C-alpha cells in the first residue's frame, strides 16, 4: 500500500484530518492502536505518514519526531507565536510579556510582539511605551507597534510572516486578540471568539483544534497556551531566555553567573547603566524566585541535575 505524508490540520471527535503534502487533499484518518500502546497520540501540527484505504479513509502509521509540543492547546511543531500585548485596558504588563517570552523561548518558539490598543494611549503614554517596544526590537524581537497610519501595513507584514510556518496567537484576555485575528482572517476570529466565551463562563468544553491555511503557512485557530506554569526549569536555564542578558553575560566574571549576587557581573552593570531595561531585570529576579519555590515539584518529576550542582 502506498505511503503518504502530510500534516495533521484538524482533530475532531477522534478523527485526524491530514493534508497530504503531495496531492494537497485532506484525508480523514484514524490513528492506529499502536500509538496508544506507546502512550503517544497524534497532535495537530504533527507530520505523519499515513495510508489510504479503498474507501478513501486513512490511518496514520507514523508520527515524525516533533520540534516541540504544547499540552494546552494540544499542538506540535510550532514555529512562532504572535504575542498580543495590550498597551492599555488592561494596562501594559512587562511582567506578563516577559513571562510569555520565556515560555516561548523554552519551547523554541519564535516570538513576535504585537502591541494592541495603542490608539487608546495619550501622546505621552504612546511615546513612553513606544520606547519600550523599541527596546524589545533592539534585542532581537519582531515588534509591531501600530500608529494611526501604519495599521494596514502592519497587518500585511504579520501575514507575510506566516509563510512556510506554523503560527499561534497568544495574549491575555482583553488584549484584543479577536480584533486582530478578525482583521487578519475572519475564519480565525470565529473560532477563537467562541472559545474565549466558553472560557469566560468557566466551561470545560471539548473543542476542535485546527490549522487554517493563510499565505502558504498555517495558523492555529486556538488561543495560545497558558503561561502561568512555565517555570519548570533549572534556575541556571532562565538567563538563557533573556536575549538582552546574553549580550553582556560573556563579560561576567563567572561563566555560570546567575547575575544575582556574583561580583563583576556584566549584566548587573548593564542594568545600572540603563543598557538593559530595569523591568527586565526585576522580572528575571522574580522568575528566579518562582523557580526556587516550584523546585520541589519538578525535582519530583525527575529533572536531571546538571554538573553535580545542587539546586537549593
Restricted to residues 31-50, the positions that interact with Zn ion (CB under 5 A) are none
Q: Which lies closer to Zn ion via its Cβ, residue 4 or residue 259?
A: 259
Task: By CB under 5 A, name the one of 219, 257, 270, 291 that touches Zn ion.
Answer: 257
Task: By CB under 5 A, name the one of 81, 105, 109, 267 that touches Zn ion.
Answer: 267
Q: Which lies closer to Zn ion via its Cβ, residue 175 or residue 257?
A: 257
Q: Which lies closer to Zn ion via its Cβ, residue 228 or residue 254?
A: 254
- Specify whether the CB–CB gap between 57 and 50 falls below 8 A: no
Residue 259 in the binding site for Zn ion (CB under 5 A)? yes
Q: Which lies closer to Zn ion via its Cβ, residue 259 or residue 280?
A: 259
Taking the complex as a whole, how short is the minimal distance between the CB of residue 267 and Zn ion, in angstroms?
A: 4
- 168 closest CA partner among 279, 48, 43, 49: 43
Taking the complex as a whole, how short is the minimal distance between the CB of residue 259 and Zn ion, in angstroms?
A: 4
Say how many CA atoms lie within 13 Å of 237 toward its Cβ: 18
Taking the complex as a whole, how short is the minimal distance between the CB of residue 212 and Zn ion, in angstroms?
A: 43
216: which 3 cell numbers? 502558504
- Specify whether the CB–CB gap between 222 and 191 falls below 8 A: yes
Stretch that binds Zn ion, among 4-12, 67-75, 92-100, 248-256 (CB under 5 A): 248-256
Residue 179 CA: distances (Å) to CA of 37, 194, 246, 256: 43, 13, 35, 44
Task: By CB under 5 A, name the one of 7, 265, 271, 276 that touches Zn ion.
Answer: 265
- 224 closest CA partner among 170, 176, 162: 170
Q: Which lies closer to Zn ion via its Cβ, residue 177 or residue 259?
A: 259
121: left (phi over 0), alpha (psi -120 to 50) or beta: beta
- How many residues in total does the chain contain? 312
Q: Which lies closer to Zn ion via its Cβ, residue 40 or residue 286?
A: 286
User: What's the rounded Cα separation, in Å, for the pair 245 and 86?
Assistant: 25
Stretch that binds Zn ion, among 6-14, 101-109, 182-190, 251-259 (CB under 5 A): 251-259
User: What's the rounded Cα separation, in Å, for the pair 151 and 223?
Assistant: 22
Restricted to residues 103-142, the positions that interact with Zn ion (CB under 5 A) are none
Beta bridge partners of residue 73, listed in sequence order = none
Taking the complex as a whole, how short is the minimal distance between the CB of residue 227 and Zn ion, in angstroms?
A: 25
Q: Which lies closer to Zn ion via its Cβ, residue 81 or residue 257?
A: 257
Q: Under 8 Å CB-to-CB from 227, ≥6 apart: which residues?
A: 96, 99, 100, 103, 170
Stretch that binds Zn ion, among 38-46, 94-102, 122-130, 256-264 (CB under 5 A): 256-264
Taking the complex as a whole, how short is the minimal distance between the CB of residue 252 and Zn ion, in angstroms?
A: 3
Binding interface with Zn ion (CB under 5 A): 252, 257, 259, 265, 267
Amino acid at each position: 500500500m502506498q505511503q503518504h505524508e502530510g500534516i495533521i490540520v484538524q482533530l475532531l471527535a477522534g478523527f485526524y484530518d491530514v493534508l497530504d503534502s503531495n496531492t494537497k487533499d485532506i484525508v480523514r484518518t484514524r490513528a492506529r492502536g499502536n500509538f496508544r500502546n506507546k502512550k503517544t497520540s497524534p497532535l495537530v501540527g504533527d507530520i505523519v505518514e499515513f495510508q489510504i484505504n479503498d474507501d478513501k479513509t486513512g490511518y496514520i502509521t507514523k508520527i515524525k519526531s516533533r520540534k516541540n509540543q504544547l499540552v494546552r492547546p494540544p499542538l506540535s511543531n510550532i514555529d512562532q507565536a504572535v504575542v498580543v500585548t495590550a498597551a492599555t485596558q488592561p494596562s501594559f504588563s512587562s511582567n506578563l510579556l516577559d513571562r510569555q517570552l520565556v515560555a516561548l523561548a523554552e519551547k523554541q518558539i519564535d516570538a513576535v510582539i504585537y502591541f494592541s490598543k495603542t490608539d487608546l494611549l495619550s501622546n505621552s503614554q504612546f511615546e513612553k511605551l513606544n520606547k519600550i517596544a523599541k527596546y524589545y526590537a533592539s534585542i532581537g524581537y519582531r515588534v509591531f507597534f501600530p500608529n494611526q497610519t501604519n495599521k494596514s501595513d502592519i497587518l500585511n507584514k504579520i501575514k507575510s510572516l506566516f509563510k512556510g510556518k506554523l503560527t499561534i496567537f497568544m495574549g491575555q484576555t482583553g488584549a484584543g486578540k479577536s480584533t486582530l485575528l478578525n482583521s487578519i482572517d475572519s475564519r480565525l476570529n470565529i473560532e477563537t471568539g467562541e472559545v474565549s466565551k466558553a472560557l469566560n463562563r468557566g466551561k470545560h468544553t471539548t473543542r476542535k483544534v485546527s490549522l487554517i491555511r493563510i499565505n502558504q503557512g498555517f495558523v492555529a485557530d486556538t488561543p495560545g497556551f497558558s503561561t502561568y506554569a512555565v517555570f519548570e526549569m533549572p534556575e541556571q536555564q532562565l538567563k538563557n531566555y533573556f536575549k538582552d542578558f546574553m549580550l553582556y553575560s560573556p563579560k561576567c566574571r563567572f561563566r555560570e553567573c546567575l547575575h544575582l549576587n556574583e561580583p563583576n557581573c556584566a549584566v548587573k552593570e548593564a542594568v545600572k547603566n540603563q543598557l538593559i531595561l530595569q523591568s527586565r531585570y526585576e522580572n528575571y529576579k522574580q522568575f528566579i524566585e518562582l523557580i526556587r519555590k516550584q523546585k520541589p515539584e519538578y525535582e519530583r518529576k525527575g529533572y536531571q541535575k546538571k554538573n553535580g550542582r545542587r539546586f537549593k
